[in-house]
Amino acid sequence: MTLSVRWWGTRGSIPTPGAETVRYGGNTPCVAVSAGTDTIILDAGTGIRVLGRELVSDEGEAPRRLTVLLSHTHWDHIQGLPFFAPLYRAGNHITILGPRQPGPSIESVIHGQMAPAVFPVPAAALASRLEVSEIDPGEHEIGGFSVRAMTLCHPGATLGYAIAPKSGGPRFSYLTDNELGAAGPDQRRQFVRFLQGSDTLAHDAMYFDAELAGRVGWGHSSAAEAVGLALEAGVRRLVLFHHAPSHDDATLERLLEEAERSRVRHGGSLDVTIAAEGHTLRC
Ligand SMILES: [Zn+2]
Ligand SMILES: [Zn+2]
């Protein structure tokens, strides 16, 4: 069975609408992974608003069961949720899963985003049935998918996911908000093991190498670092993801060129591309 991966939001940190970002997108992270009739939604940045509109476009359609897997609860990965139209449709059952937090529970973070001080509609007033739970590193079955989760290098609790159809097929891995430069040798080996057998890897590629020095500890990687990991793990294709707000379309194309030069320097075989909002990729 094949997988399709649609990019609804590709931008990191904050939405960047405007003429200079139309090619690769200005919405914050949201990715829909589908196999047959099953879909998992990764992250709930502002891109999830447009996905939600498509999911409820047919007034007469049957209620849906939807799962949203959060990499973490930084604002750019949850800020679209209050605007996700399926939450307001009676009969829908929506499950939000995210990493166990060191501080407040994930449920309180999600509900806090709909507190009266910041949003007019409380979570308790939603017409759908909403469940929010924690997901731990390890193997899981979610709908028609096998999902593996692992801890990433990022401030706060953050998970990366590897997703494949339960019945077998290509594996798509999603490692966003991951600082490869801060990973020790053991964690690096774990990343490589986790990615072995993946067809496509979407990885945090927020910076040029030259930008890294001033951003140590911020929780992100350069495109060239993502290339190094993808080559080491032997994935077929790398998708540069979580674009920096300061990088317009032309800058992102220069970032892709830097990634390509890095691949040539390493000498391996790898297809490198950039996540572009609205586009669908087949694995
Ligand atoms: Zn982020
Ligand atoms: Zn983050």
Which domains does the chain carry? 4-282 (3.60.15.10)
Percent helix, strand, coil in the chain, to 5, is: 30, 30, 45
Averaged pLDDT, 46-61: 88
Give the Å distance between the CA of 59 and the centre of ligand 2. 35
Residue 251 CA to residue 247 CA, distance in Å, equals 5
pLDDT at residue 61 greater than cutoff 80: no
Q: What angle do CA 279, 43, 13 make, to 5 degrees?
A: 85
More confident residue, 99 or 37: 99
Residue 240 CA to residue 175 CA, distance in Å, equals 10
Which residues lie near ion ligand 2 (Cβ < 5 Å)?
A: 74, 177
Per-residue pLDDT band for 123 (boundaries 50, 70, 90) equals: confident
Alpha helices for 43-150 (secondary structure H): 47-55, 106-112
Per-residue confidence (pLDDT) for residue 235, from 0 to 100: 98
Cut 0.95: pTM above it: yes
Per-residue confidence (pLDDT) for residue 63, from 0 to 100: 86
Give the Å distance between the CA of 60 and the centre of ligand 1. 35
Ligand at shortest distance from the CA of 153: 2
Residue 154 CA to residue 157 CA, distance in Å, equals 7
- Tell me which residue has tokens 């890095």: 262
- Averaged pLDDT score across all residues of the chain: 96
As a whole-number percent, the residues of the chain with pLDDT over 70 amount to 99
Are residues 236 and 271 in contact, defined by beta-carbon separation less than 8 angstroms?
A: yes
Per-residue pLDDT band for 102 (boundaries 50, 70, 90) equals: confident
Averaged pLDDT, 211-236: 97
pLDDT at residue 59 greater than cutoff 70: no
Burial (CB count within 10 angstroms: exposed 0-12, middle 13-18, buried 19+), residue 160: buried
Give the Å distance between the CA of 2 and the centre of ligand 1. 28
Pairing between strand 237-241 and 38-42? unpaired
Beta-bridge mates of residue 121: none
Q: What angle do CA 204, 205, 206 make, to 5 degrees?
A: 100
Give the Å distance between the CA of 117 and the centre of ligand 2. 23
Q: What is the torsion angle, in degrees rounded to the nearest 10, for the CA atoms of residue 224, residue 201, residue 278 and residue 64?
A: -150
Give the Å distance between the CA of 39 and the centre of ligand 2. 23
Residue 272 CA to residue 266 CA, distance in Å, equals 13
Averaged pLDDT, 178-207: 97
Per-residue pLDDT band for 95 (boundaries 50, 70, 90) equals: very high
Report the Cα 61 to chain-centroid distance in Å. 27
Give the Å distance between the CA of 13 and the centre of ligand 1. 5
Per-residue pLDDT band for 224 (boundaries 50, 70, 90) equals: very high
Pairing between strand 237-241 and 200-204? parallel
CB neighbourhood size of 240 (10 A): 26
pLDDT at residue 141 greater than cutoff 80: yes
